[in-house]
Amino acid sequence: MSVGLDYQFLVKTFFIALSGVPTALIITIVSLLIALPLGFLLALSRINRIPVISQLARVYVSFVRGTPVIVQIFIIFTSVPLLLKPIFEEYHVKTNIYDINPIWYAFIVFSLNTTAILIEVFRSAISTVSKGQLEAAYSVGLNNVQAFRRIIIPQTLVVALPNICTATVNLIKATSLGYALSLKEINLRAQVAANVGYNYIEAYIDIFLVYLLLCSLVEYLFKLYEKRVRKYKAVDA
């Protein structure tokens, strides 16, 4: 085992790891775009106790929160081809299922996962807004959509934002498991580079640094946004 770090390799691999950032960010953004509205709607269904959907959402949340992300990844990765195969054969789609870009699996896994977490986040956030707010909005003549868009959602957002931030950071961290899908993100790129000369320590230090930079940046941006959203609250009150 080598003593001391190979600094040249350290610097070189840092940029290799950095080149995986766009992949991680795309997965994060797409998953959030799917999960935010879906999570909000399902949270509403839980609060209003809409039959069937509410129970399904409950089981779904419990399952996703109760199992490791890596197991979820493996389940999706092995089940989706099985499900798609008959459909593809039925409609004579020429694409080979096993040639699909792994990023699609990543989108499925991480948006399903984030949806479950956001359901809980929104559920607790919506329940902090008092019912009087909605009634007041109706009484001044707003319809349902307007009441939610102008009154409920802005207030919910203030409460939910710190938790959404945590969920986002966790999501970014979870994309490091994309290696299981042979997805070329930060982790796998650096690992592959390290395979040549067994420079695993340097590679993992680089991955560590990249995630540290990425997550602190995201946390900082959320803090800024939170300040802006909160300002409204101060003016209102």
Partner 1 sequence: MEKYFDVTYIWDTLPQLIPFLKVTFMVAGLSVLFGTILGFILALMKLGTSKIAKKIANCYTTIIRCTPSIVLLFLVYYGLPAIASNFGTDLNTLQTAVFVVITFSIQFGALMSEVMRTAYEAIDRGQFEAAVSVGLSPAQAFRRIVLPQAFVVALPNFGNSFLELMKEGSLAYTIGLVDIMGKASLIISNNYNSHSLEIYLGLSLIYWVLSILIEQLFSKLEKIFSKGKQLIKTT
What residues make contact with partner 1 under the rule CB under 8 A? Answer: 1-4, 62-63, 65-72, 74-75, 78-79, 82, 169, 173-174, 176-177, 187, 200-201, 204-205, 207-208, 211-212, 214-216, 219
- Our CB check for partner 1 shows the closer of 115 and 176 to be 176
Residue 151 or 181: the one with the smaller Cβ distance to partner 1 is 181
In 3D, which of 1, 178, 157, 160 has the Cα closest to residue 73?
Answer: 178
The span from the CA of 203 to the CA of 221, in Å, is: 27
How far is CA 85 from its chain centroid?
27
Smallest distance, Å, CB 12 to partner 1? Answer: 18
Residue whose structure tokens are 């493996």: 74
Give the closest residue to 191 by CA, choosing from 16, 53, 34, 27: 16
**Helices and strands, counts by H and E, the chain:** 10, 0
Q: How far is the CB of 96 from partner 1 (least distance, A)?
A: 16
Residue with smaller CB distance to partner 1, 44 or 207: 207
Query: Which residue, 84 or 153, has its beta carbon nearer to partner 1?
Result: 84
Q: How far apart are CA 36 and CA 110, in angstroms?
A: 12
Q: How far is the CB of 132 from partner 1 (least distance, A)?
A: 27
The least distance separating partner 1 from the CB of residue 170, rounded to whole angstroms, comes to 9
Q: Pull the structure tokens for residue 225.
A: 């946004």
